[in-house]
């Protein structure tokens, strides 16, 4: 007689791993785009993971070939023995199945230990409030009406000069009883090079207030990029060259007679001038990315800034 071999249970082909992978991808993309999409991806991943594990841990049914019953007292004895065997309890898991589940579980733990830290470094920055912080750039009296002032400041003093930013600030006069400002970023909308005022500066009127440096302009005819020749008018609209949109702007607030800069946002174009200008505002995009028109459809997802 040949000894009975205990063959390990090998699950058949299944689509559950594919569904699980799709759910994980949707979950990770949702962390950037929307919490609703992330939740839907998590539900899909968990559902398919459950189905996958159920298939891996399910037992196999062995087909028994019916035998022809023998005649006489020997057949009756065999039937009694078979009945006794059917009444005996079966083990919940065989040795091979236990080893299989243990191996899969240990592999999952090791995979989690390896991948969770990496995923944390990839995803955590999305929730760390990156971007431009609110910053005091001086009293309103330092900004003459109708003239641009070049304001440089450190967005994070603890990081030093590497965090220095530049904004072009113009006081437009009152609007509905409140001071109106135009605050333009110096990052070119082509590749992010620093644009320069097309006009002289009053270096003799330079002021230093803490980490903030203010230099008034004498008069300017717009802004120009020294890298690739992009040109903008005094409202930041593109007039020539490779830029795909207007210059970005900063939100601002006024507290205790001081001007505070907030987060940056992108602008497709500006209609009008000064306090009467209509700004076509968009979520901040990276340089070179259109924010309106058919070309913007090529950039449907904006990663965290």
Asked, for residue 305, whether it belongs to a domain, the answer is: no
Tokens of 245: 């949109």
Asked, for residue 76, whether it belongs to a domain, the answer is: no
**28 and 174 assigned to the same domain:** no
**189 and 248 assigned to the same domain:** yes
**168 and 24 assigned to the same domain:** no
- What number of CA atoms fall less than 13 Å from residue 270's CA on the CB side? 24
Pairing of strands 249-255, 238-240: unpaired
**257 and 223 assigned to the same domain:** yes
**163 and 116 assigned to the same domain:** no
Range of the domain at 50: 8-58+96-128
**178 and 285 assigned to the same domain:** yes
**49 and 116 assigned to the same domain:** yes
**109 and 161 assigned to the same domain:** no
Asked, for residue 67, whether it belongs to a domain, the answer is: no
What's the pLDDT at 72?
Answer: 53
pLDDT of the chain, 305 residues: tens digit per residue = 555 555 555 556 667 888 888 888 888 887 777 788 888 888 988 988 888 888 777 654 444 445 544 455 555 555 555 554 554 455 555 777 777 777 777 777 777 777 777 777 776 666 665 555 688 898 999 999 999 999 999 888 778 788 889 999 999 998 888 899 999 999 999 999 999 999 999 988 999 988 899 999 988 889 999 999 999 999 999 999 999 999 999 999 999 999 999 989 999 999 998 888 999 999 889 999 999 888 888 887 766 55
Asked, for residue 1, whether it belongs to a domain, the answer is: no
Asked, for residue 64, whether it belongs to a domain, the answer is: no
**123 and 139 assigned to the same domain:** no
Instruction: Tell me the helices (H) and strands (E) count for the chain, helix number first.
Output: 4, 13
Asked, for residue 28, whether it belongs to a domain, the answer is: yes
Burial 12-24, CB ≥16 within 10 A → b, else e? eeeebeebbeebb
Give the count of beta carbons closer than 10 Å to the beta carbon of residue 249: 23
Domain CATH code at residue 183: 2.102.10.10
What's the pLDDT at 64?
Answer: 44
What's the pLDDT at 21?
Answer: 85
**141 and 241 assigned to the same domain:** yes
What's the pLDDT at 52?
Answer: 81
Of 111, 128, 145, which marks where a domain is finished?
Answer: 128
**147 and 51 assigned to the same domain:** no
Asked, for residue 68, whether it belongs to a domain, the answer is: no
Asked, for residue 226, whether it belongs to a domain, the answer is: yes
Specify the residue for token string 């340089």. 287
**227 and 146 assigned to the same domain:** yes
Specify the residue for token string 């004498």. 218
What's the pLDDT at 160?
Answer: 79
Give the count of beta carbons closer than 10 Å to the beta carbon of residue 170: 21
What's the pLDDT at 26?
Answer: 85
Quote the Cα angle for 131-115-46, to 5°: 95
What's the pLDDT at 63?
Answer: 40
Of 105, 128, 151, which marks where a domain is finished?
Answer: 128
Q: What domain count does the chain have?
A: 2
What's the pLDDT at 56?
Answer: 74
């Amino acid at each position: 007689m040949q000894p009975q071999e205990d063959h390990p249970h090998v699950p058949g082909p299944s689509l559950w791993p594919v569904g699980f992978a799709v759910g994980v991808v949707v979950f990770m993309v949702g962390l950037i785009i929307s919490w609703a999409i992330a939740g839907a991806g998590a539900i899909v991943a968990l559902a398919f993971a459950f189905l996958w594990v159920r298939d891996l841990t399910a037992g196999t049914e062995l087909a028994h070939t019916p035998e022809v019953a023998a005649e006489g007292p020997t057949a009756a004895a065999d039937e009694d023995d078979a009945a006794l065997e059917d009444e005996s309890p079966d083990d919940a898991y065989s040795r091979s199945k236990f080893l299989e589940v243990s191996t899969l579980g240990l592999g999952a733990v090791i995979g989690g230990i390896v991948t969770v830290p990496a995923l944390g470094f990839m995803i955590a920055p999305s929730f760390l409030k990156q971007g431009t912080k609110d910053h005091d750039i001086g009293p309103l009296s330092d900004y003459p009406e109708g003239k641009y002032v070049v304001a440089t400041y450190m967005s994070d003093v603890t990081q030093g000069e590497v965090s220095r930013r530049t904004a072009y600030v113009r006081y437009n006069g009152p609007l509905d009883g409140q001071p109106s400002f135009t605050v333009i970023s110096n990052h070119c909308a082509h590749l992010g090079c620093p644009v320069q005022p097309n006009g002289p500066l009053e270096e003799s009127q330079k002021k230093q207030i803490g980490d903030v440096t203010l230099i008034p302009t004498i008069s300017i005819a717009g802004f120009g990029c020294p890298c690739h020749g992009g040109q903008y008018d005094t409202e930041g609209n593109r007039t020539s060259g490779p830029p795909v949109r207007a210059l970005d702007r900063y939100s601002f607030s006024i507290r205790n007679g001081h001007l505070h800069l907030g987060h940056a946002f992108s602008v497709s174009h500006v209609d009008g001038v000064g306090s009467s200008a209509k700004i076509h505002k968009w979520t901040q995009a990276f340089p070179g990315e259109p924010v309106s028109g058919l070309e913007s459809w090529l950039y449907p997802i904006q990663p965290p800034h």
